[in-house]
Amino acid sequence: MNRPTYERPAIVRHQMGLMNKFGRMDTVKPLTHVDGVAIDALVAEHGSPLFVFSQRTLINRYRELRDAFTRRLPRVRLAWSYKTNYLEAVCRTFHREGAWAEVVSPFEFQKAVRSGVSPDRIHFNGPFKPDLALAEAITGGAILHIDNFDEIGRIDRVAEQVGKWARVALRVNLAIDGLTAWSRFGVNLESGQAREAIARIVASDRLELLGLHTHIGTFILDANAHGMAARKLARFANEIRAEHGIKLSFLDLGGGFASPNTLKGTYLLGEQASPSFARYADAIADGLGELDYPTKELPTLVLETGRALVDDAGYLVSTVHATKRLPGGERALVMDAGVNLLFTSFWYDHAVVPAQETRGAPEPTVLYGPLCMNIDVLRESAKLPPLAAGERVVFRNVGAYNVTQWMQFIATRPAVVMIGTDGRVARIRRAEDVGDLTSHEGVPEWLS
Ligand SMILES: Cc1ncc(COP(=O)(O)O)c(C=O)c1O
């Protein structure tokens, strides 16, 4: 007979702040299925912890973003930001929808090519592009986003060696009221550095200037910040046209749109605070209104949106390994997934809900991971009903930056599955085993 697990009664202090001004509170409604597929069945087949991706959500978000911008602007290109999630099935889903690739390292460049992207549909960002990678990119016709003056000289030289023109854009950093500038990437606009860089590029016989790029930061909750960046790029493009007679073919505003996640320490839930794609589109289109170009020749707007496209398509299923009462009375759970898998739990309060029907009143619960480290805390306080060992929870909005930044610390990484638009389930990354790791190692002959 299945007897309910005994839960020792606890007196829990009532807390203010369950509701915010919209009357919403963190929900504890269980999530038993993803896109109609039972989570129990997924775990039975692929184990726990388990990352699950909804292809339907990926496609819906992509189309929502594209449509919000094409409503306002004639030419828009989405370049999938590989660092956000470079699982091949995820990348291919976006490429099938028409996305180009945005990569920031030779590794990512190769990954994009393996995912079937033609090099001339790759925007190559990043501060570190060794000569070999440059040669491959220039030969294939990729667009190199120049980060610094040394790189201009290097691209010039490598282009000469491979006997081809290099297609380039200049990455600029700029000041936006209320934002800390990401001034380490690109050259600065306000100081005049960017103007000098353009003059140097234009003087070269080997560089074809196609565009300007900026990435003002990430998870930016104020759409007007992107509007201001668009305005500044537009004015700079006007200047380049007036001074050098060059009409740019694109302006790239990078990434930075917020996802439905909730940043730690914020008052509103992410789904309430994060602007819609339409709001960002309006602000950016208004900023680009400054472009002094013939309508038919307006540059393409390139977006490298990462987290806002993929976060809510990703789920992490995790099983309760043990339950505890802490000395202060709080309930705590030891989970089989920790910060090794959910890197983003360092800055988000990820929504977490039970994966099965539950009984009992929710109370603040600390979620610990399995690592023998004090920092391994997935949520400092999540409202959850009583959960027993063997029961599961689902972390939501985990699609961005986790399956790229996860780490192999004292544990191997679990499987990842995708639920296709037709409900089929495919394993898109198998669980690692210890052999995957030891196969990279060698033992000196004197120790074997
Ligand atoms: C150059 C560049 N483009 C795009 C992105 C994606 O940003 P986000 O995930 O904030 O949309 C990043 C992330 O840092 C980036 O550095």
User: What ranges do the domains of the chain cover?
Assistant: 33-53+312-433, 55-311
Query: Ligand 1 centroid vs 305 CA: distance in angstroms?
Result: 6
Which atom from ligand 1 is nearest to the alpha carbon of 400? 9
When the pLDDT of each residue in the chain is averaged and rounded to a whole number, the result is 95
Q: Is residue 105 within 6 Å of ligand 1 at its C-beta?
A: no
pLDDT class for 291, splitting at 50, 70, 90?
very high
- What is the torsion angle, in degrees rounded to the nearest 10, for the CA atoms of residue 126, residue 128, residue 131 and residue 137? -20
Query: Ligand 1 centroid vs 52 CA: distance in angstroms?
Result: 22
Strand, helix or coil for residue 330: coil
pLDDT class for 9, splitting at 50, 70, 90?
low
- CA proximity to 125, closest of 93, 148, 99, 147: 147
For residue 351, the one-letter residue type is A
Least confident of 86-90, 252-256, 265-269: 265-269
- Per-residue pLDDT, averaged over 79-95, amounts to 98
Q: What's 187's DSSP letter?
A: E
Residue 14 has a pLDDT of: 55
Q: Is residue 257 within 6 Å of ligand 1 at its C-beta?
A: yes
Which atom from ligand 1 is nearest to the alpha carbon of 256? 10
CATH of 55-311, one of 3.30.230.10, 3.30.70.580, 3.20.20.10, 3.40.190.10: 3.20.20.10
Report which protein residue has its CA nearest ligand 1's atom 9. 306
- Beta strand ranges found along 280-376 (DSSP E): 300-303, 314-325, 331-335, 352-354, 363-368
Residue 396 has a pLDDT of: 98
Radius of gyration of the chain measured on its C-alpha atoms: 24
Instruction: Give ∠ CA 196-104-342 in degrees, rounded to 5.
Output: 135
Query: Ligand 1 centroid vs 218 CA: distance in angstroms?
Result: 6
- Encode pLDDT of 153-172 as tens digits: 999 999 999 999 999 999 99
Q: Is residue 365 within 6 Å of ligand 1 at its C-beta?
A: no
Report which protein residue has its CA nearest ligand 1's atom 4. 255
pLDDT class for 15, splitting at 50, 70, 90?
low
Residue whose CB lies within 8 A of the most ligand 1 atoms, among 84, 109, 214, 310, for a mutation test = 84
Query: Ligand 1 centroid vs 181 CA: distance in angstroms?
Result: 14
Contact between 310 and 90 (Cβ < 8 Å) = yes
pLDDT class for 389, splitting at 50, 70, 90?
very high
Which atom from ligand 1 is nearest to the alpha carbon of 145? 1
Same fold, 33-53+312-433 and 55-311: no
Query: Ligand 1 centroid vs 83 CA: distance in angstroms?
Result: 8
C-alpha 442, offset from chain centre: 35
Query: Ligand 1 centroid vs 327 CA: distance in angstroms?
Result: 42
Parallel, antiparallel or unpaired: strands 331-335 and 363-368: parallel
Residue 28 has a pLDDT of: 82
Residue 138 has a pLDDT of: 98
Looking up tokens 């309006």 gives 282
* Cα dist from 354 to 12, 42, 45, 162, 373, whole Å: 20, 15, 19, 57, 25
Least confident of 17-21, 84-88, 287-291: 17-21
Q: Given CA atoms 38, 398, 125, 289 in this order, what sign does their dihedral have? A: positive
Which atom from ligand 1 is nearest to the alpha carbon of 304? 4
User: 74 versus 28: which is more confidently predicted?
Assistant: 74
Contact between 382 and 364 (Cβ < 8 Å) = yes
pLDDT class for 254, splitting at 50, 70, 90?
very high
Residue 3 has a pLDDT of: 75
Residue partners of 153: CB distance under 8 A and separation at least 6: none
Query: Ligand 1 centroid vs 145 CA: distance in angstroms?
Result: 14
The CATH H-level superfamily of 33-53+312-433 is Lyase, Ornithine Decarboxylase; Chain A, domain 1 (2.40.37.10)
Q: What's 257's DSSP letter?
A: B
Query: Ligand 1 centroid vs 85 CA: distance in angstroms?
Result: 11
Does residue 298 register a pLDDT over 60? Answer: yes
- Per-residue pLDDT, averaged over 342-350, amounts to 97
pLDDT class for 11, splitting at 50, 70, 90?
low
Q: What's 130's DSSP letter?
A: -
Q: Is 118 left (phi over 0), alpha (psi -120 to 50) or beta?
A: beta
Question: Which percentage of the chain shows pLDDT scores above 90?
Answer: 92
Q: Is residue 102 within 6 Å of ligand 1 at its C-beta?
A: yes
Residue 217, number of CB atoms within 10 A of its CB: 16
Does residue 17 register a pLDDT over 60? Answer: no
Q: Is residue 218 within 6 Å of ligand 1 at its C-beta?
A: yes
Residue 171 has a pLDDT of: 98
Report which protein residue has its CA nearest ligand 1's atom 2. 254
Does residue 23 register a pLDDT over 60? Answer: no
Half-sphere exposure of 307 (CA within 13 A, CB side): 21
For residue 83, the one-letter residue type is K
Residue 20 has a pLDDT of: 56
Query: Ligand 1 centroid vs 392 CA: distance in angstroms?
Result: 32
Residue 25 has a pLDDT of: 53
Residue 296 has a pLDDT of: 96
Residue 406 has a pLDDT of: 98
Round to whole Å and give the CA distance between 304 and 112.
Answer: 14
Does the bond joining 362 to the residue before it have cis omega, within 30 degrees of 0?
A: no
Query: Ligand 1 centroid vs 359 CA: distance in angstroms?
Result: 41
Does residue 12 register a pLDDT over 70? Answer: no
pTM of the model: 0.94
Residue 79 has a pLDDT of: 99
Residue 307 has a pLDDT of: 98
Q: Given CA atoms 179, 101, 136, 169 in this order, what sign does their dihedral have? A: negative
Round to whole Å and give the CA distance between 143 and 299.
Answer: 15
Residue whose CB lies within 8 A of the most ligand 1 atoms, among 218, 221, 302, for a mutation test = 218
Least confident of 14-23, 62-71, 300-309: 14-23
Q: Is residue 111 within 6 Å of ligand 1 at its C-beta?
A: no
Tokens of 250: 């694109």
Does residue 26 register a pLDDT over 90? Answer: no
Q: Is residue 186 within 6 Å of ligand 1 at its C-beta?
A: no
Q: Is residue 274 within 6 Å of ligand 1 at its C-beta?
A: no
Query: Ligand 1 centroid vs 154 CA: distance in angstroms?
Result: 24
